Structure 1
């Protein structure tokens, strides 16, 4: 793990201001700490010597007030910076994943872990670790230089012992990184298992296997808990080791300074200043070691969130054709599609074939969601309506306007064409009705109408439909077929279907056959 990943500010300009603000505050706090050592030594010397306390007392109070203000400002800025950087990273990776093909995206459980737990763990990295890192880069050198001017022999002790802290911190950090990676792997497995269980929960309940899966989730959770506790143990032990090392080093300076003060070889103010400056040379490095464990998750997450994801490539053409197109799922032994060549003409093209022959996969290839194993696909910008259209946990109006930029009049016309207006009329609050996850509040057929309405509002050059009439009653299916025919008069429409009536309306048919492994 690198102390600071420069890609954070190089690739994300939005993070430069928060990181720069934390750096400036850290440097200012370091200067104030050095000034405090001189002010307190001045005050104690004046008190012991019987001199006037007014000037040193005001100086100490002023510096303490400045340090308090800087500390409060740093806390507020760190909180803002952590939320800002985490939000920018999350937005960046989600945007890249949404534009990448299914083959280039990570597994769903890894995407879930990175975008939730990973992005959240960036906040303590930015809010606590980066300020400590800045202080460690500024304060120790400043304290040592000041000590050289004040008392060079005490400075030599600090120079000889300070390097021990980063050496020990680096040795402990390597072990911490290994523990963190193991915990991340456990977290990813837990997320994947939980995701699979939630997807198959209705089936598990119907077969009476839900309680067994609950036990499995609990077992994986226990493994995650054990890995977390193991990491915490390392954190506590390493913090204690660094604390002990720093305490012994400061004690050496204090003893050496005290001995020379007792021998009469050192002025009281110089001795006090040296004793007060010595801890400032160790404390920032010690804090970096302490915060390293909290930041290890953040550093791991930043590396994953900044990973390059190849974007989906669109040719930007108005026509659509494929030449010798083949596709094989990762880990499969046979191509699900092989050597397909076809040119999509204006109008309605229906893709037919038995279940499992790769019709849905073909649509995903045409939409740019998958990368062909071989061959080439020349496609314009498309709008894909899947069998389970994506529905936001938001209002019906928000879902209709998603990615379209259509006016209210255009939305109303599209709803009337697909029959969605009758569905909206039956909802409690009309278009203001709030939908739940996966379109909870709408039936499967109503979600299909919603997806088809969005396709009508889209300005994509080609519309791709996957089983558009599969979840509709006969009357609704007839209306949807009519809508599809009208849509095909304005742009090419490619529809995968088992509906013979929709196939009969097609201008062209694209038959696929099932491939059987040899």
Structure 2
């Protein structure tokens, strides 16, 4: 976990501009801070000496106004950086996971935690910690350089004591890093367990085991709470230690300045400048330490996200499921083997499959790897051995994705078909009457994942969308699992119609569809059979 990882700017280019803006404003604020100290000292000296104060007062007012404007710009640029860095990182993660094969994606629970709550913690990291980091790198250097020019003795005191702050901050930060990592693991465990409980709640209720999960969730939540409290204790300890060191260091500078003023070896202007500049050398580092604890979760999330994004997507010796040509109508698998990540048993072994133009059905017992074959052909998974060659494919899964938009948006996902074609596609799957009866027809909004439609209706919307695709290969997984007899017959007729001009590969348990197929491949026997 680094304070700032340069890989962030490489993997999320959209984050470059706001981060650079934060850095530029931070440098300007540092210059204005040092200049204000000179102007304020000049005003005080002028008042004490009885000389005109107009010029130094004018400079002081102008610099205070500039600092106010820079403070406003810093707040705006920091807020914008927080939003844009968060959005850019989340977008980069999702695009990366969509590009890589399924076996190179993280566990769904960990991925959801990282892209959701994890990336959300990046906003305070970018909006508060990064500006503090820039100030901590620039302002102390400027203040020390000014002190060397004005009062070398005070500069020597600051130079000797200033390294103590980052040293103690690094020591406490290492402990904070370890505690934050433990807290992050506890949060991931809690999120994953809670997700599993929600998914399996109907089964748990059916077997009378739901109450037991209350204790388990409470136990995992307690572990997360204890990890959080340990992190907070370290944060308070760090702030107290840095404040104490900075206060002692500034007091040493003040004492040396006071003694020299008393003995007449130092003039008032120089002493004032030394006392005004010394705190500015320590304050940015104290702020970095405080903001680091507030943004520790964000720094950990950035590190995890960048590790995900910089992991090679495909190994050098791993065969990839790439199409021969985008318009090739057919699928060809030779000697394909596949094992799920972490599993020792191969779900597919030496599979050969040919699916040319026409309707090919794939059958077999549950767990035989039927859905895996479709994902291999679609390029979502990479075979462990063998070759997969196919044209551009459109995949319809058992749980098809419907965006949280309108019915029209769901049908136009991946195409720009006019409304007339949308209605024709709905008519083919027997859903036109239902959609016509909706309050806003095609403009009727859908909830997340098609909330508002039944499982069978969502499947038919996905098939209607597939019929509008121009992909020469259509992959369909159990299209009639949630349909009654008439609905299933309409879908069968649509698949036969589409197979006249495409290669259609369908996973099914329906004997009616097997009877309509041009080819039948049974994973149980690994042999192609002619339809009965």
For this structure pair, what is the TM-score category when the shorter chain's length is used for normalisation?
over 0.9
- SS of residue paired to 1:173: helix
Please give the root-mean-square deviation of Cα atoms over the aligned residues, in Å. Answer: 1.7
**1:435-446 matched pairs, under 5 angstroms:** 435-446=446-457
Of residues 412-421 and 500-509 in structure 1, the stretch that sits farther from structure 2 once superposed is 412-421
Give the whole-Å Cα distance in 2 for the aligned partners of 1:199 and 1:405. 35
Who is 1:124 aligned against? Answer: 124
Is 1:93 paired with 2:101?
no
Q: 1:346 aligns with which of 344, 357, 377?
A: 357
Task: Please report how far the alpha carbon of residue 514 of structure 1 lies from its aligned counterpart in structure 2 after TM superposition.
Answer: 7.4
Q: Is the 8 A contact 2:338 2:384 kept in 1?
A: yes
**1:251-270 matched pairs, under 5 angstroms:** 251-270=251-270
Give the whole-Å Cα distance in 2 for the aligned partners of 1:3 and 1:340. 49
**1:68-147 matched pairs, under 5 angstroms:** 68-147=68-147
Q: 1:413 aligns with which of 414, 424, 435?
A: 424
Task: Please report how far the alpha carbon of residue 439 of structure 1 lies from its aligned counterpart in structure 2 after TM superposition.
Answer: 2.2
Structure 1: state its 5+ residue gaps: none
Who is 2:27 aligned against? Answer: 27
- SS of residue paired to 1:464: strand
Task: Please report how far the alpha carbon of residue 316 of structure 1 lies from its aligned counterpart in structure 2 after TM superposition.
Answer: 4.5
Q: Is the 8 A contact 2:359 2:505 kept in 1?
A: yes
Who is 1:59 aligned against? Answer: 59
- SS of residue paired to 2:476: strand
Q: Is the 8 A contact 2:321 2:376 kept in 1?
A: no
Q: Compute the TM-score of the two structures, normalised by the length of structure 2.
A: 0.93
- Cα deviation digits, residues 173-213 of structure 1 (max 9, x gap): 11111111111101111110111111112222333433332
Who is 2:530 aligned against? Answer: none
Who is 1:315 aligned against? Answer: 323
Is 1:505 paired with 2:516?
yes
Aligned pairs, number: 515
Task: Please report how far the alpha carbon of residue 2 of structure 1 lies from its aligned counterpart in structure 2 after TM superposition.
Answer: 2.4
Give the whole-Å Cα distance in 1 for the aligned partners of 2:159 and 2:98. 52
**1:216-365 matched pairs, under 5 angstroms:** 216-306=216-306, 307=308, 308=310, 310=313, 313-317=321-325, 318=328, 319-365=330-376
Give the whole-Å Cα distance in 1 for the aligned partners of 2:420 and 2:211. 51
Task: Please report how far the alpha carbon of residue 354 of structure 1 lies from its aligned counterpart in structure 2 after TM superposition.
Answer: 2.3
Structure 2: state its 5+ residue gaps: 315-319, 527-532
Who is 2:499 aligned against? Answer: 488
Describe the shift of the 1:437–1:218 C-alpha distance in structure 2 as closer, same or farther (beyond 3 A).
farther
Q: Is the 8 A contact 1:176 1:293 kept in 2?
A: yes
Is 1:173 paired with 2:176?
no
Give the whole-Å Cα distance in 2 for the aligned partners of 1:141 and 1:298. 27
Q: Is the 8 A contact 1:357 1:514 kept in 2?
A: no
- SS of residue paired to 1:339: strand
Give the whole-Å Cα distance in 2 for the aligned partners of 1:324 and 1:313. 13
Who is 2:317 aligned against? Answer: none
- SS of residue paired to 2:105: coil
Give the whole-Å Cα distance in 2 for the aligned partners of 1:40 and 1:154. 18
Give the whole-Å Cα distance in 2 for the aligned partners of 1:238 and 1:79. 26
Task: Please report how far the alpha carbon of residue 127 of structure 1 lies from its aligned counterpart in structure 2 after TM superposition.
Answer: 0.9
**1:31-46 matched pairs, under 5 angstroms:** 31-46=31-46
Of residues 253-262 and 330-339 in structure 1, the stretch that sits farther from structure 2 once superposed is 330-339
Who is 1:477 aligned against? Answer: 488
Who is 1:155 aligned against? Answer: 155
Task: Please report how far the alpha carbon of residue 248 of structure 1 lies from its aligned counterpart in structure 2 after TM superposition.
Answer: 0.6
Q: Is the 8 A contact 1:101 1:368 kept in 2?
A: yes
- Cα deviation digits, residues 264-321 of structure 1 (max 9, x gap): 1111111000110011111111111111112322222122222235177533531321
Q: Compute the TM-score of the two structures, normalised by the length of structure 1.
A: 0.96
**1:451-462 matched pairs, under 5 angstroms:** 451-462=462-473
- SS of residue paired to 1:333: coil
Of residues 248-257 and 370-379 in structure 1, the stretch that sits farther from structure 2 once superposed is 370-379
- SS of residue paired to 1:103: helix
Q: Is the 8 A contact 2:86 2:123 kept in 1?
A: yes
- SS of residue paired to 1:329: coil
Give the whole-Å Cα distance in 2 for the aligned partners of 1:242 and 1:316. 63
- SS of residue paired to 2:350: strand
- SS of residue paired to 2:103: coil
Is 1:376 paired with 2:387?
yes
Who is 1:467 aligned against? Answer: 478
Of residues 369-378 and 502-511 in structure 1, the stretch that sits farther from structure 2 once superposed is 369-378
Who is 2:13 aligned against? Answer: 13
Of residues 400-409 and 451-460 in structure 1, the stretch that sits farther from structure 2 once superposed is 400-409
Q: Is the 8 A contact 1:22 1:78 kept in 2?
A: yes
Give the whole-Å Cα distance in 1 for the aligned partners of 2:518 and 2:212. 52
Q: Is the 8 A contact 2:321 2:383 kept in 1?
A: no
Q: Is the 8 A contact 1:325 1:340 kept in 2?
A: yes
